[in-house]
Amino acid sequence: MSDPDPSNDARSVAGWKRAAAEAAVADVADGMTVGLGTGSTAAFAIEALGRRVRDGLDCRAVATSNRTADLASRAGITLMPLGDVAEIDLAIDGVDEIDPELRAIKGAGGAMLREKIVASAARRMIAIADRSKAVDRLGTRAVPVEVLSLARAFVERRLMTLCCDPILRRAEGQAVLTDQGNLIFDCHFADLGDLPALDAHLSAIPGLAGHGLFLTEIDALYLGGPQGVFRSERQPRPD
């Protein structure tokens, strides 16, 4: 699934992202509560949903980050606090990488914990991406993890026991904080062969609030490319 073509320019990729986002937003129906993701591809979905709302669509949304909430508000989309929402009809979000089984790495935008909550609360989740994000095997991108500041050293040590090189995310010399005020480690693993086992190991570390492996949450992928939008579906999740 990976894209070896180095000729993709920024304008083409933006067009593919937009096409995938608009195809996903077409699935939003009146009365739905929609989970809105974070990142450049999700921003196109917010823009498209805003247009549909202005054309009369009746829906509400929850945001996976403060940035997303700001974009949605400016687009005229009615927002609900995530803490007040137990179930979401449809979540739409981008990915950093996604494999043929619709397992993904997410969190480059630093919102992996809220994104995981929204994806898990959703009856259906659509991943949207340009074709460069489709890979045969996960692992080119780091797996981000969100960590409580008070557990930084402990979690870093535990991550290293998993054959991981955890790198504290920084910007302009300062540690990057999530909207929850937590730290982010970008984790480069020697081997991502047993993804369910790694998911379980990460989830069991005290002080690690969330991670960017999305192994079962994604129900469909809308993948934009030069031939249009390709859609693939996962078998329905059990209730």
105 falls within a domain = yes
Length of the chain: 239
CATH number of the domain encompassing residue 124: 3.40.50.1360
List the one residue out of 211, 231, 236 whose CA is nearest residue 221.
Answer: 231
Q: Which residues contact 128 (CB under 8 A, 6 or more apart)?
A: 17, 20, 21, 23, 24, 41, 42, 44, 45, 92, 93, 94, 95, 221, 222, 224
CATH number of the domain encompassing residue 184: 3.30.70.260
3 falls within a domain = no
46 and 113 in a single domain? The answer is yes
159 falls within a domain = yes
Q: Give the per-residue pLDDT at 160.
A: 96
157 and 203 in a single domain? The answer is yes
Number of domains, the chain: 2
Q: What is the C-alpha separation between 131 and 98, in angstroms, rounded?
A: 10
56 and 128 in a single domain? The answer is yes
pLDDT less than 70: residues of the chain: 1-8, 236-239
List the one residue out of 210, 147, 137 whose CA is nearest residue 176.
Answer: 147
Domain extent, residue 120, equals 10-136+215-233
65 and 127 in a single domain? The answer is yes
Task: Quote the radius of gyration of the chain (alpha carbons, Å).
Answer: 17
Q: What is the C-alpha separation between 111 and 7, in angstroms, rounded?
A: 30
Per-residue pLDDT of 86-118, as tens digits, reads 999 999 999 999 999 999 999 999 999 999 999
Q: Give the per-residue pLDDT at 178.
A: 97
127 and 154 in a single domain? The answer is no
Q: What is the C-alpha separation between 199 and 205, in angstroms, rounded?
A: 11
Provide the β-strand partners of residue 128: 94, 222
Q: How far is residue 168 from each of residues 142, 177, 183, measured CA to CA in Å?
A: 12, 10, 8
85 falls within a domain = yes
182 and 119 in a single domain? The answer is no
206 and 125 in a single domain? The answer is no
94 falls within a domain = yes
77 and 105 in a single domain? The answer is yes
Taking every pair of Cα atoms in the chain, the longest distance, rounded to a whole number of angstroms, is 53
Active site residue 233: no
164 and 199 in a single domain? The answer is yes
Q: Which residues contact 81 (CB under 8 A, 6 or more apart)?
A: 62
List the one residue out of 116, 141, 11, 4 whose CA is nearest residue 65.
Answer: 116
Find the catalytic residue in 97, 115, 146, 156.
115
